[in-house]
Amino acid sequence: MKNIIIASTSTLHNQGYLEYLLPTLSNHFKAGSTLIFIPYARPSGISHDDYTAKVREAFESLNIEVKGIHEFENPKEAIQSADGIFTGGGNTFLLVKQLYAHDLIPTIIAAVNQGTPYLGCSAGSNICGLTMETTNDMPITYPPSFKTFGFVPFNINPHYLDPIDGSTHMGETRETRINEFHTINSQPVIGLREGSWLKVTGHRIILEGMLTARVFEQDKAAYEVEPNTDVSTLK
């Protein structure tokens, strides 16, 4: 049974890394377990080692050991034996390219479908959707495919931002870009605001956190869903 947390972000304003999620993560992962961290997205170009150290420090308070997947000679075996998996944020194009390069996508899908708890933040959440095509990131490299995990039957736009009243900015809004996506693609998109996450338990997908999420469906007006809403019927 799938057990997944798909979080818009790892860090809220004026809080430490993962601080707002730690109470939820203490139930999601078991104390004393070993968590495999996937640092491939490398935010701001941080090294795999430095990124893993940051995550390791955050999970110390939960008595969870963190190991970076790059530390293993056989990454597939690391995933297969993991007590939990966490994919961090950064650049989604780089992340997906590395997952394909190491042939890890089928292995991670199999592990999560068999019940291994998964946490994704930002880029690590974007890849929980059907494709990565609703990422906010620059295409700094080119993955062999945009197809990702498909843990949920829609796409995700993390860090969703609403238009700012009175702004003189003339560039595209997130809503504009998602509408552009829907001129070619049919799958729904959920815009996750900072501090919100989706909790996947088996086939149930519940919006959690304090904020609403914005849902986009092809040829329909966008609409809001409240926290604790089941969005598993969205297809």
Is residue 25 a contact partner of residue 5, using CB atoms and an 8 Å limit? Answer: yes
- To which H or E segment does residue 109 belong? helix 105-113
Strand extents, DSSP E, 75-121: 84-87, 118-121
Token pair of 154 as six digits = 């829609």
Which residue out of 10, 122, 125, 196 is catalytically annotated?
Answer: 122
The number of residues in the chain equals: 235
CA 149 vs CA 18, 58, 100, 110, 172: distances in Å = 23, 25, 11, 10, 28
Which residue out of 70, 137, 182, 196 is catalytically annotated?
Answer: 137
Is residue 169 a contact partner of residue 161, using CB atoms and an 8 Å limit? Answer: no
What own/partner pairs with CB < 8 Å and gap ≥ 24 does 71-76 have? 75/102, 75/104, 76/102, 76/103, 76/104, 76/107
Residue 10's CB is within 10 A of a number of other CB atoms, namely: 26
For residue 137, indicate whether it is catalytic. Answer: yes
Is residue 156 a contact partner of residue 129, using CB atoms and an 8 Å limit? Answer: yes
CA 55 vs CA 37, 59, 131: distances in Å = 8, 6, 26
Which residue out of 26, 102, 159, 232 is catalytically annotated?
Answer: 159
Residues identified as active-site: 122, 137, 159
